[in-house]
Structure 1
Amino acid sequence: MIELQTLSKAFGPKRVLDGISLSVPKGESMVIIGGSGTGKSVMLKCILGLIHPDSGKILVGGEDVATVSREAFLDRFGMLFQGGALFDSLSVWQNVAFRLIRGPKKMGKAEAREVAVEKLRRVGLKPEVADLYPAELSGGMQKRVGLARAIAAEPEIIFFDEPTTGLDPIMSGVINELIREIVTEMGATTMTITHDMTSVRTIADRVAMLHAGKIRWTGPIAEMGETSDPYLQQFIHGRAEGPIESVR
């Protein structure tokens, strides 16, 4: 579903992506791991067209993203943002239905509200939450609303940017399980950025590790613990000593 071919991007002298090639099969969950500043978010932004790569090619569904209609292209995606990114001035249901009302489908407000309430129910929130505002919700509830918004338009592809950041271990587990269930139900292709190894083991079908602008390792989640790659082993076990330099 998603294929990156020798993708490169630099900002001035800093090369953030250095010839990345990666394939994400249709209907599978790919999790991208790696330290802060290794280019994970830049890679997602390149796929979405928010950042233009210096070289390389991005194919989605076999089509070169540089040649397709932006509106039609973005209509295939949903996204759960790291900080929730909810609109403070809109109610919960309006946040969830934002794309349905403002996007290409131009759904009526009554119908959009029904869809929003159903998606809220799917992520474990009661109908009465629909008329609250983000400031009235806990962090975990805000994350669920963000997830409901990500799936509201039934996208083919969903990106999750640090889905459990700022949540306690129990709520993180709840969100991880919700993501796994919903993705399986929808048959969506997903890419997730995370530092949380519990999330990796819950969400991933396949894992790719990005370090210094290159894919160090990629493979099925079942093989992650068996590889001898020193970068991957240091990261997944949280070791201070190893080829990945730590700031002291």
Structure 2
Amino acid sequence: MIRLEDVHKSFGNNRVLRGLNLEVPKGTSMVIIGGSGTGKSVALKCILGLVTPDSGRILVDDQDATQGDRDAFLARFGMLFQGGALFDSLSVWQNVAFRLLRGSLKRPAEEARAIAIDKLRRVGLKPEVADLFPAELSGGMQKRVGLARAIAADPEIIFFDEPTTGLDPIMSGVINELIREIVVEMGATALTITHDMTSVRAIADNVAMLHDGVIKWTGPVAEMDHSGDPYLDQFIHGRAEGPIEAVR
């Protein structure tokens, strides 16, 4: 579903992506891991077209991601943002139905509200939450609202950016289970960025280790602990010593 071929991206003298190659098969869950500043978020932004690569190709369903109708392209994606990114001035249901109230996916307000309530129910939130505002919700509830928004338009591809950041271990487990269930249920292709190894083991079919702008290792999550790759081994075990130098 997603293929990156020799993708390079620099910001001034900072070379972030240095020949990134990655394939995400249709209907699978890929998790990209790696230290801060290794290019994970930049790779995701390149796929979405928020950042233009300096060179290389990005294909989505065998189509060049930089060509064609931009609205139609983005309509295929759902996104769960790291910080939730809910609009404070909008009610919960309006946040969930944000895409359904405007643009090419626009629906009548009544229909959009009904879809939003159904998606809230899917992530374990009751209908009465719909008319609350984000400030009235706990962090875990806000994350669920963000997840409901990500799936509101039944996208083919869903991106999850650090889905468990700021959550306690129990709520992180709940969110991981929800993500896994929803991806399988929808048959969606998922791409997740995370530092949380518990999340990796819970939601990944395949794992890619990104370091210094390139993929050092990629393979099934079941093979991760026995990869033999020194970068991956150091990262997943949190060792201070190894080829990855800690920023001090």
TM over 0.5: yes
Structure 2 residues not aligned, in runs of 5+: none
CA distance in 2, matches of 1:106, 1:119: 17
**Partner SS state of residue 22, structure 1:** strand
Q: Tell me how far 1:147 sits from its aligned partner.
A: 0.1
Map 1:1-248 onto structure 2 (within 5 A).
Answer: 1-248=1-248
Normalising by the residue count of structure 1, what TM-score does the alignment of the two structures yield? Answer: 0.99
Aligned length: 248
Q: Which amino acid aligns with 1:20?
A: L
Provide the rounded CA distance (Å) in 1 between the counterparts of 2:182 and 2:247.
38
1:91-126 deviations in Å (ceiling 9; x for gaps): 000000010111312100000000000000000000
CA–CA separation in structure 1 for the residues paired with 2:105 and 2:155: 13
CA distance in structure 2 between the partners assigned to 1:217 and 1:68 by the alignment:
32
Deviation digits for residues 153-204 of structure 1, max 9, x if unmatched? 0000000000000000000000000000000000000100000000000000
Q: Tell me, which stretches of 5 or more residues in structure 1 are unaligned?
A: none
Query: Post-superposition shift, 1:14?
Result: 1.0
Looking at structure 1, the residues matched to 46 and 247 of structure 2 have their Cα atoms a distance apart, in angstroms, of 28
Amino acid aligned to 2:30: M
Over residues 58-112 of structure 1, what are the superposed CA-to-partner deviations in whole Å (9 max), with x where a residue is unaligned?
Answer: 0000101122211110010000000000000000000000101113121000000
Distance 1:64 1:172 in 2: 35
Q: Identical aligned pairs, as a percentage?
A: 78
Letter in structure 2 aligned against 1:52: T
2:78 is paired with a residue of what secondary structure? strand
Query: Structure 1 segments of 4 or more deviating over 4 A?
Result: none
**Aligned equivalents of 1:22 and 1:37: distance in 2?**
18
| TM-score where L is the length of structure 2 | 0.99
Amino acid of the residue matched to residue 39 of structure 1?
G
- Counterpart AA for 2:69: S
